[in-house]
Amino acid sequence: MNLRYAAIKLLRAMITLWLVVTFVFVVLRLTGDPTQQLLPDDIGPEIRDYYRAAWGLDRPLWEQYLRYFEAALRGDFGISFRNSQPAIDLIWQRVPKTLELGLATFFCSLALGIPLGVLAAVWRDSWVDRLTMSFAVFGFSMPNFFLGILLILLFALNLRVLPSSGYGTWQHMVMPVFTLATAFAGAIARFTRSAMLEVLSRDYMRTAEAEGASRFRQVWWHAFPNAAIPVVTIVGFSLGGMIGGAVVTENVFAWPGVGRLLTSSVADRDLSIVQGIVVLVAITMVSANLLVDLAYGWLDPRVRVGGQERSR
Amino acid sequence: MSAETADNAAPAPKPAAARAGRPVGAWRMPLLVRIAAAILVLVSLVALLAPLLTPYGYEETDLLYRLKPPFWSSLSIEGHLLGTDKLGRDLLSRLLIATQVSLALALLGTLIGAVLGTFLGILAAHRGGWVDEVVMMLVDWQAAMPFLIIALAVLAFLGNNFYLFLALMGLAGWETYARLTRSLVLSAREQGYAVAVRALGARPLRLYGRHILPNVMGPLIVQLTLNFPQTILLETSLSFLGLGIQPPLTSLGQMLGDGRDYLLTAWWLAVLPGGVIFLTTLSMSLFGDWLRTRLDPTQR
Amino acid sequence: MSAVLAEATEPDEPRPLLRVAGLARRFSLPRTSLFGPRPELTAVADVSFDLAAGETLAVVGESGCGKSTVGNLVLNLLSPSAGSIRFDGEDLASADDTRWRDRRRDLQLIFQDSRSALDPRLTVEAQVAEGLEIHKVATAADRKIMVAAMLEAVGLGGDLARRYPHELSGGQQQRAVIARALVLEPKLVVCDEPVAALDVSVQAQVVNLLRDLQRNLGLAYLFISHDLSLVRHVADRVAVMYLGRFVEVAECRDLFAAPAHPYARALIGAVPAARSRRGRLVRPLRLEGEPPSPMNPPSGCPLHPRCPFATDLCRTELPALRPRADGRSVACHHAEASQADGLEAQGGSDASQPLKVFP
């Protein structure tokens, strides 16, 4: 059963990746002459023909597709025409900076969102609960570019305590991380809250209470591990939103990461880089979802059984 | 059609609350939701009537009066309530038109996505088999990719134009409707009334159009109100990045993106459009949340 | 003995309205191992019967025996795995969707759960009119008259017709369901537990309504129920079903007087009313254990693990549903012994406890 589940999920992940790569190929090839799109406008027809042959565009479409696919498997997305380096190298240079931002955001969101969600559930309808829910709605509705600009206005331009943009010291990270983490932490808090509310209403919680476990122990030892699984899922699914948010946030704060490379490449129509980033994002998302799926499928029955046992 | 005459002869449908057997008092809105609803009505009116309200043309430049502050400053000038931007265009006029453009785009996009997603969801549930597999695979695929990235890639590959941009807005949320509709339809199909209508010999169009769709409309409308703010955020994000709505047309995101270069000297250029976006999405979220808890008591 | 054969050999016999032969339906279940075969559940196995115009055939049995599946198969709400259904001389198993949609005018159903059987968002009137609209019967004005007359006939005239389902009582809802099915003037109506969800006082009214309508409109009913006292009241013939098969088909009076199949005896012996008719008693038969899972039916006769008459023959060979001289058909190797045992010793068996067949 489990093996079958894992095999299906793996197969789906592969198909998703294949669809992304094919999508890029189709959009790129079937909408016009790639030399028109990939090369600058001001070159002569003989150079264009040279590239057409070099890229195999005179070949049949299926052969082009196979070549393209094989190159993509090797991580070869072509040369950036803007600065003549392999696209993949340019992307890799930016990855650590985005990861830095992403990981910091991730940990801050969890550190803020989970306790808030748990406390909101435990003290339901209290001011903590209301504050948490307001925070979640705020994070959901606040465009992160606007939040970033408000932060710059307040902390960089008026109070002058933080640098307005750029990369380097920890001070540079404060505002971007805060901007990104707001929406993410809100979503996690909200989800943790509803997962906890459900767990707290189950029978074994009443048993734990009857056994005289302290409230702290009841909540963190008995209830939270059972609420953790749905929370893991939402964390996985929120990754996409976070990647999108990172693109915008990096632009607001001039953070030299993949997101900023993407938007400048889109503006310049540097398509080698754009397709490389699209595939990279797809791989990230698919792996994350696969991990969440597998973790869920593997953990779920065991944890439930564990919960039942504790109730006796 | 005879179906319509029969409907007209029938008394007006009872409000949903009465149908669900809940006292009407439960529908009374909390204060916050009332404020949200009022803001939504106001913003919609502004968007609808924008061309009538603008004191100047939104493209009208006046280089003599650039970056003039709004009314609260002593430096403000007569006739420009909210001052002017870097090209001397009237900020109030631009804000009104931008609100219209952003809201219209988000509304159209949300509706396109809702119609497309609902249709595909019904199709998947109705046909089952490989049709279902393909639709659900597309749903998975779209859910797996951050849509902002897809949109950026498409804009890079195909270049920017208004209709492509609108299509992207429509594609943004279809998968949530498809997933939701599919599961709603699958359970509604097993309801007695659906089986009975099939047994009467109804064609799929009648079964889904007259019976199933009206019965699953509630959750779909809630989804609409929850998706709308997301579509606004997508449009304004892309326009903020300079990759969405292109000049001479304007949108709230584009105004905000332009305004951030003048944060130090004219912060209101960014903060006013940002404020409109935030208030709109916040109001819509609050309203949608309230609607959801009303319609579905199991949701918290 | 098979229906096809019977048709070929007796061409002069009046053609039945519905002739079902060798009907079967299997459901595949999710795989339990990665590459293993899909387990199958046989809900209906080899069911054959005829139903004449204006006749009521009741199908009785415990819940899960497949009786509702038979109804759904006849209506093509499920497609059969095997077998043929001839309705009015037409082979419906091979009819396409369009043909089926047309035929539905003659083949209607009445559900158990009337509340969910009505669309909550349309008035009763609109729902009763729907079938007429679908089949484009008459003009819009005539349809209104037909709907009003039908609603009047089921006792939902006047103001009630313009109400929504939630504004009606359970009995009224079931009347609306009946009106919706019968306004098309079908030839056959499948009634799947039509009154099970109603209060006992209302049950009688609805059953009488069904009988009156049958008399006036010449309907045939396939009446699916677990309620034997009800069946005894409405049925012309009764088919007793066990684990997807008909084990006994007989005239209603004969069956209740002297059930032949051991399972039929167990069912009927449990009905208090069956034990006092004409001074004769059907001695209840005590079956051992629970019905086996339809995923894993026993070899031979499906009843053998529970039957006191079971012999080695029963364990190996499936008894066919054989027509007998007295007009009934029984699928049992030892039917005569069972029947005789069931009728012996008047009054002597009161000590034995009636079997609780229904949960």
pLDDT in tens, B236-285: 999 998 888 888 888 898 999 888 888 888 888 888 899 999 999 999 98
Residue A208 has pLDDT above 70, yes or no: no
Name the neighbours of B, counting chains with at least 3 Cβ pairs within 8 A: A, C
The interface predicted TM-score (ipTM) is 0.81
C10 band by pLDDT with thresholds 50, 70 and 90: very low
CA–CA distance, A109 with A117 (Å, rounded to integer): 11
C291, C212: one domain: no
Is C60 among the domain residues? Answer: yes
What is the total count of domains within chain C? 2
Question: How many beta carbons lie within 10 A of that of residue B83, not counting itself?
Answer: 25
Q: In what order do the strands lie in the sheet with C90-91?
A: C40-51, C18-28, C82-87, C90-91
Are residues C126 and C207 located together in one domain of the fold? yes
Task: Look at the alpha carbons of C219, C222, C226, C228 in this order and tell me if their dihedral is positive or negative.
Answer: positive
Contact C164 B14 (CB under 8 A): yes
The chains in contact with chain C, meaning 3 or more Cβ pairs closer than 8 Å, are: A, B
**Range A12-22 average pLDDT:** 84
Cβ atoms of A285 and B146 closer than 8 Å: yes
Closest chain C residue to B4 measured between Cα atoms? C126
Question: Residue C354 and residue C359: Cα distance in Å, rounded?
Answer: 14
Which domain CATH number covers B229? 1.10.3720.10
In a domain, B21, yes or no: no
Domain-embedded: residue C7 = no
Who has greater pLDDT, A194 or C4? A194
Q: Is residue C154 part of a domain?
A: yes
Stronger pLDDT, C63 or B205, i.e. the higher one: B205
Mutation target to probe the B interface, by most B beta carbons within 10 A, among C119, C162, C193 is C119
**Residue B8: pLDDT above 80?**
no
Whether the CB-CB separation of A175 and A148 falls below 8 Å is answered with yes
Output the pLDDT for position B42: 92
Residue A312 confidence (pLDDT)? 28
pLDDT above 80 for C165 = yes
Q: Tell me the shortest Cα–Cα distance from A307 to chain C, in angstroms.
A: 25
Which pLDDT value is given to residue A11?
86
- Does some domain include residue B71? yes
Q: Are residues C223 and C288 in the same domain?
A: no
Q: pLDDT at residue B65 above 80? A: no
Q: Is the pLDDT of residue B300 over 50?
A: no
What amino acid is encoded at C8 in this protein? Answer: A
Total tally of structural domains belonging to chain B: 1
Distance from CA of B10 to the nearest CA of C (A): 6
C60: left (phi over 0), alpha (psi -120 to 50) or beta: beta
Whether residue B143 lies within 8 A of chain C, CB to CB, comes out as no
Q: Which helix (H) or strand (E) holds A280?
A: helix A271-311
**Is residue C251, in this structure, part of any structural domain at all?**
no
The CATH number of the domain where C22 resides is what? 3.40.50.300
Using a pLDDT cut of 70, give the percent of chain A over it.
83
Q: Which amino acid is at C84?
A: S
Query: β-strand C56-60 against C220-225: which pairing, if any?
Result: parallel
Taking 80 as the threshold, does the pLDDT of residue B197 lie above it?
yes
In a domain, B9, yes or no: no
User: Hey, is B130 helix, strand or coil?
Assistant: helix
Residues C208 and C297 in one domain: no
- pLDDT at residue A166, as a whole number: 79
The answer to whether residues C159 and C298 belong to one domain is no
Q: What is the mean pLDDT of residues C176-183?
A: 89
- Average of per-residue pLDDT values in chain A: 80
Q: Distance of CA C8 to CAs C4, C12, C94, C320, Å? A: 6, 10, 20, 20
- Residue A213: its pLDDT value, please? 65
Q: Find, among C79, C57, C94, the residue nearest to C222 by Cα.
A: C57
Residue C115 burial (CB < 10 Å; 0-12/13-18/19+)?
A: middle
pLDDT value for A34: 63
B186-195 confidence digits (pLDDT tens)? 988 888 888 8
C81 and C196 assigned to the same domain: yes
- Residue B108, Cβ density class (10 Å: 0-12 exposed, 13-18 middle, ≥19 buried): middle
Q: Give, as one character, the DSSP assignment of residue C295.
A: T
Q: Do residue C71 and residue C176 come from a single domain?
A: yes
Residue C72: inside a domain: yes
In angstroms, the CA B22 to CA C307 distance is: 53
Q: What does the angle CA A129 – CA A131 – CA A134 come to, to the nearest 5 degrees?
A: 105
Structure tokens at A279: 């595939």
Question: Residue C209's pLDDT is what?
Answer: 87
Highest mean pLDDT among A201-205, A268-272, C65-69: C65-69
- Range of the structural domain that residue C316 is part of: 259-346
In a domain? residue B221: yes
Q: Label residue B296 by pLDDT band (50, 70, 90).
A: low
Q: What's the pLDDT tens digit per position in C299-332?
A: 888 888 888 888 888 888 888 888 888 888 888 8
Task: Give helix A87-122 / helix A271-311 axis angle, nearest 10°.
Answer: 30
Among A79-83, A211-215, B5-9, C251-255, the range with the most confident prediction by mean pLDDT is C251-255
Lowest-confidence segment of A110-114, A261-265, B165-169, B222-226 by average pLDDT: B222-226
Flag whether pLDDT at C351 surpasses 50: no
Across the range A218-231, mean pLDDT stands at: 72
Q: What is the pLDDT of residue C11?
A: 47
pTM: 0.79
Chain C contact present for A11, CB below 8 A: no
pLDDT class of A192 with cuts at 50, 70, 90: confident
Residue A179: how many other CB atoms lie within 10 Å: 27
Q: What are phi and psi of B155, to 5 degrees?
A: -65, -35
Q: How confident is the model at residue C350 (pLDDT cuts 50, 70, 90)?
A: very low
Q: For residue C27, what are the β-bridge partners?
A: C41
The CA distances from residue B207 to B125, B214, B260, C17, C113, in Å, are 13, 10, 53, 29, 19
Give the residue numbers spanning the domain of B109: 30-299
In a domain, B272, yes or no: yes
Tell me the pLDDT tens digit for each residue of B70-125. 777 777 777 777 777 777 788 888 888 899 999 999 999 999 999 999 999 999 99
The pair of three-digit structure tokens given for residue A144, joined into one six-digit string = 């992160």
Q: Which two tokens stand for residue B268?
A: 């209101």
Q: Please, what is the average pLDDT of chain C?
A: 80
Pairwise pLDDT comparison (A173 vs A310), residue with the higher score: A173
Characterise A84 by phi-psi region: left (phi > 0), alpha (psi -120 to 50), beta (else): left
Per the model's pLDDT, the better-predicted residue between A290 and C93 turns out to be: A290
First to last CA, chain A: 28
Which other chains touch chain A, taking contact as 3+ CB pairs less than 8 Å apart? B, C
Residue B39: predicted pLDDT: 92
Other Cβ atoms less than 10 A from the Cβ of C114: the count is 26
pLDDT reported for residue C206: 84
Q: For residues B215 and B200, what is the distance between their CA atoms, to the nearest angstrom?
A: 18
In a domain, B175, yes or no: yes
Question: Is residue C286 domain-resident?
Answer: yes
Q: What is the count of residue pairs from B and C with beta carbons less than 8 Å apart?
A: 90
Are A104 and A177 contacting, i.e. CB atoms less than 8 angstroms apart?
yes
Mean pLDDT, residues C1-30: 67
Q: Does B217 score more than 90 pLDDT?
A: no
In a domain, C243, yes or no: no
Tell me: pLDDT of C1 over 70: no
On the question of pLDDT at C103 being above 60, the answer is: yes
Based on the fold, state whether residues C210 and C307 are members of the same structural domain.
Answer: no
- For B132, half-sphere exposure in the C-beta direction (CA atoms, 13 angstrom radius) is 11
| pLDDT value of position A1 | 47
For chain A, domains (ranges, CATH) are: 87-311 (1.10.3720.10)
Q: Is A7 part of the contact surface with chain C (CB cutoff 8 Å)? A: yes
**Predicted pLDDT of residue A37:** 62
C227 & C264 share domain = no
C53 within a domain of the structure (yes/no): yes
Q: State mean pLDDT over A241-254.
A: 89
User: If DSSP codes are grouped into helix, strand and coil, which group holds residue C66?
Assistant: coil
Residues C108, C166, single domain; the answer is: yes
